[in-house]
Amino acid sequence: MADEKIVGLDIGTSTIRVAIGEIDAETGNLQIAGTASRKSAGLRNGVIVNIEDAKNAIKEAIDAAEQNAGTSVESVITAIGGSQIESMNSKGTVPVSSNGKSTKEISRTDVERVIECATAVKVPDDKEKLHVIPQNYIVDGVGGITDPIHRMGTRLEAEVHIVTAAKTIIQNLRSTISRADYLLDGVMLKTLAQTQSVCHQDELDLGSILIDFGAGTTDVLILLNGAPIATASVPVGGNLVTNDIALVTGISVAAAEKIKIESGCCWLQSITPENDTEVILPGVGGRAPEVIMRSQLCKIIQARVEQIFHMVRSAIQKNTNDSIKQLSGNIILTGGGAMMEGVIELAQSVFRTSSVRLGIPEKLGGIEEDYRRPDFATVIGLVVANKSLAQGKDSRKKSKVHVAKKAKTKSGESVLKKIFKSLF
For residues 23 and 383, what is the distance between their CA atoms, to the nearest angstrom? 10
d(CA 80, CA 359): 18
Q: What pLDDT is stored for residue 346 in this prediction? A: 98
What distance in Å separates the CA atoms of residue 132 and residue 161, rounded to the nearest whole number?
6
**Distance between CA atoms of residues 377 and 383, nearest Å:** 10
* pLDDT band (50, 70, 90) for residue 286: confident
Establish how many alpha carbons lie within 13 A of residue 202's alpha carbon, considering only the half-sphere containing its beta carbon: 3
pLDDT tens for residues 304-321?
Answer: 999 999 999 999 998 887
Q: Residue 37: is its pLDDT beyond 90? A: yes
Helices then strands, counting H and E runs in the chain, come out as 12, 18
CA-CA-CA-CA torsion sign (238, 20, 32, 223):
positive
Taking the complete model, does pTM exceed 0.75, yes or no? yes
pLDDT category, 395, cuts 50, 70, 90? very low
pLDDT digits (tens, 9 = 90+) for 345-366: 999 999 999 999 999 998 887 7
pLDDT surpasses 50 at 404: no
**Residue 366: beta bridge partners?**
32
Instruction: Answer for the pair 15, 38: CB distance below 8 angstroms, yes or no.
Output: yes
Q: Which residues on adjacent β-strands are paired with residue 145?
A: 137
List pLDDT tens digits, range 68-123.
999 999 999 999 999 889 999 999 999 998 766 666 899 999 999 999 999 999 99
Cβ-proximal residues to 140 (8 Å cutoff; 6+ apart), any chain: 153, 154, 155
Distance in angstroms between the alpha carbons of the first and the last residue of the chain: 23
Judge residue 355's burial from the number of C-beta atoms within 10 Å of its C-beta, 0-12 exposed, 13-18 middle, 19 or more buried. middle
pLDDT in tens, 135-161: 999 999 999 898 999 999 999 999 999
Residue 41: which of 17, 62, 14, 23 has the closest Cα? 14
CB 190 within 8 A of CB 378: yes
